[in-house]
Chain A
Amino acid sequence: MKLAHLRPSARMLPVLASLGVLILLYAGGCVAFENFGSLRVLINLFGDNAFLGVAAVGATFVILSGGIDLSVGAVVAFTGVLIASLIGHGQAPLLAIGLALGLGAGFGALMGALIHLYALPPFLVTLGGMFLARGLAFVVHPESLSIDHPFYGEFISQTLSVPVSRRLAIPFTAFALLAVVLAGAALARWSRYGRNVLAIGSSESSARLMGVPIGATKILVYTLGGFLSALGGVVATFYMQSGNPASFVGLELDAIAAAVIGGTLLRGGVGYIPGTLVGVLILGLIQTLVIFQGTLNSWWTRIAVGGLLFVFIVLQQLTARRRE
């Protein structure tokens, strides 16, 4: 497996820029605020945003195939409240988690099937999916529900976290994030399936003529998206120890923003899973910076993200033009 084909070209520019922004923001934070450069902040950056990162990887795959998934936030919320409810009714946590993951995958498969078999626009189908999942979440339980189970309380929080010092430990969620990103990157770069996804996103008509199995690839990518959204929901339950049907409204926007900032083009065919991780970390970093600042209010996060998106979109536009 030679890495020569990873030679940077003009198209890698946005990704490198994202990395640069990440480093810049982090360095800036370390300089501006005491304790910013601490290990705790770094660990929290990964651990707190793990659920978004996992879901965003799924969203990235869908975008790479030329589609879009608006149901991410709703599925994350549904998964959370479902698990909380099942555990609350006495089900074993692993069973609850397994069921939730299965449902997420099935949900994604359903959307993918509708999109492919009936040539429906992904925007509308996943919009419907979002409404459906959100409504079902409220059907499961109308309010926030906390999870009270030794699996969560001890196993995940303590046994599976890696202590770094006497008071600090790397939470399981951070490992989950890294594992998913690694697996996703490997899938995208080194598997036939991943290359097929990119092919379809770049030019579906050509991919069809080249013998790429359009139907299977597409349906699978939405299945993967649904699965990872559900996994994100599972990670969220680890993080928040509860499930809430009203939570994560607009999460899909964050996922899409993270992907775009990470170098993925919304038209499909071009993108990098590790880039999405960078995007998620940038989002998390901005939020941390705002918190550390203290006086700035939380809405500045949104404005900052919007501004960053603007910069990256224009950057992508410019580098794309130069290639023509």
Chain B
Amino acid sequence: MVAGHFGLAAGIKAREPAVPMWALMLATQWLDVVFVPLFAAKIETIEVIGGGKAGYGNGIIHADYTHSLVGALVLALVFALPAGWRWGRRAAVVLGAVVFSHWLIDLLVHHHDMPLLPGAPAGTPRFGFGLWRWPVAIAVAELALVLWGGLAYLRAAVGVARAHDPAKLRRARAAGATVIAAGLVTLGLNVAGF
């Protein structure tokens, strides 16, 4: 899941307008951003179910550090601390929660591959409700998140421009349209297996 996380962050921006958009978008993917270098180093891996080509939701993800419960909490803290120093406590709490929301959403869809502790020590359980067994339903849920978040953001952006600087109404509409279009493009690529 990629686009759904972004959709949620866009919806959060509408509710927490003082938190910078780029920070929310980075926060919502922070676990996967940290996953990338570990994947390149083969410390974390993806195993394709059935052994074929990797596609939408057909991977068992051995992300035993970034996507463990404790690992996700540590990564949320790592993200929130500098944010708190820069933008204050409320922004830190919001951004930390957005980082951790990635783990909660992944818990719903992952194929029983998320451990509690970093490194997944032998004998410890793994979690994941495996909703990716129904990829069409998850794609629809992602689409709903993208549309909900994008429309909430568009409404908030237009509202704040109208209230404080009507000259920026056009820019606000462009920003909202960009968020919705970005979500649709990202979801389309992901579902198509790219």
Do A and B form a real pair? no
User: Which residues in B have some Cβ–Cβ distance to A below 8 Å?
Assistant: none
